[in-house]
Amino acid sequence: MQAGAGQWYFKKEDFAVTPSSADGISPQVEVLNRAKACRFIYNVGLALRFSYTTIATACVLFHRFYMRNSMQEHHYYVMAGTCIYVASKAEEQQRKMRDVVLACARKAAKKDSLQLAEDSKEFLRWRDHLIYKEEILLEAVCFELTIQHPYKYLIQLLDYVQASKMVKQYAWAFVNDSFKSYSCLLYQPHVIAAAALYLAAKVCQEDLVGPNNQKRWWEHLKLQLSEVEDCADSVLKVHEIV
Ligand SMILES: *[C@@H]1O[C@H](CO)[C@@H](O)[C@H](O)[C@H]1NC(C)=O
């Protein structure tokens, strides 16, 4: 675990008493808003051709932010835009402010052909949000912008079990999905990687084996099956909501 990262792991019970729920937003609505916001991050990120690590960093920042702040006070689309903006700087994939503003406005309006003059009200509104919320976000996440993600562990595991193309595809999709839920606040990235592979093998009905006929491939990352299954449940849950 990275230094300082410990404060960003929670227990399942903690999600019933977040700042948003103290502000009257039900835990169910919060879960839904988190999923919607992460889909928004994903769409804006793809439109700006950001790497998957930038997108993943933005999602984790978003989830961390709302463990300390309320959705009543900071709108989740505005914060989602801010997270992608901040993540893009952290991952050195910076784009012009103008491009980020346009991508946010287009995806929020669900209209990719939307054109905005740089002095239009909508453009300035998004621009001001990004500038103003950047500070608030950075403070809430304690300026910790270097975040480990499941992808590198997944790549290790896929190689270890010599996964088929189909298993690979599903495993990646499950890791992508995991960012929509609280998973990154509950489990360390290597656990999420193993859970994604575990689910992918199930969906594809394939038995995975490592070298020397090692059937307990999760042990390659020093994990126990119960941990992996528990995390897999949490990753799957997001499918029930969105
Ligand atoms: C996972 O997300 C990345 C962007 O973060 C995207 O490039 C990739 O195609 C996605 N993979 C799957 C299988 O959905």
- 21-43 tens-digit pLDDT: 999 999 999 999 999 999 999 99
Q: What are phi and psi of 10, to 5 degrees?
A: -130, 175
pLDDT band at 5 (very low <50, low <70, confident <90, very high): low
Closest Cα to atom 1 of ligand 1: 176
pTM above 0.85, yes or no: yes
- Residue length, the chain? 242
Mutational test site, ligand 1, from 48, 172, 199, max ligand atoms within 8 Å of CB? 172
Q: Which residues contact 26 (CB under 8 A, 6 or more apart)?
A: none
Average pLDDT across the chain, whole number: 93
pLDDT of res. 95 = 87
pLDDT digits (tens, 9 = 90+) for 48-64: 999 999 999 999 999 99
Closest Cα to atom 5 of ligand 1: 52
Q: What percent of the chain has pLDDT over 90?
A: 89
pLDDT digits (tens, 9 = 90+) for 91-148: 888 888 999 999 999 999 999 999 999 999 999 999 999 999 999 999 999 999 999 9
pLDDT of res. 35 = 94
pLDDT at 186 over 60: yes
pLDDT of res. 23 = 95
pLDDT at 161 over 80: yes
Cα–ligand 1 centroid distance for 10 (angstroms): 26
pLDDT of res. 237 = 81
Cα–ligand 1 centroid distance for 37 (angstroms): 17
Cα–ligand 1 centroid distance for 69 (angstroms): 29
Ligand 1 cavity residues, CB under 6 Å = 52, 55, 169, 172-173, 176
Cα–ligand 1 centroid distance for 202 (angstroms): 20
pLDDT of res. 4 = 62
pLDDT at 238 over 80: no
Cα–ligand 1 centroid distance for 55 (angstroms): 10
Closest Cα to atom 4 of ligand 1: 52
CA distance to 139, 155, 157, 163, 166, per residue, from 211 (Å): 46, 16, 11, 12, 20
Closest Cα to atom 7 of ligand 1: 52
Comparing C-alpha atoms, which of 133, 131, 105, 130 is closest to residue 117?
Answer: 105
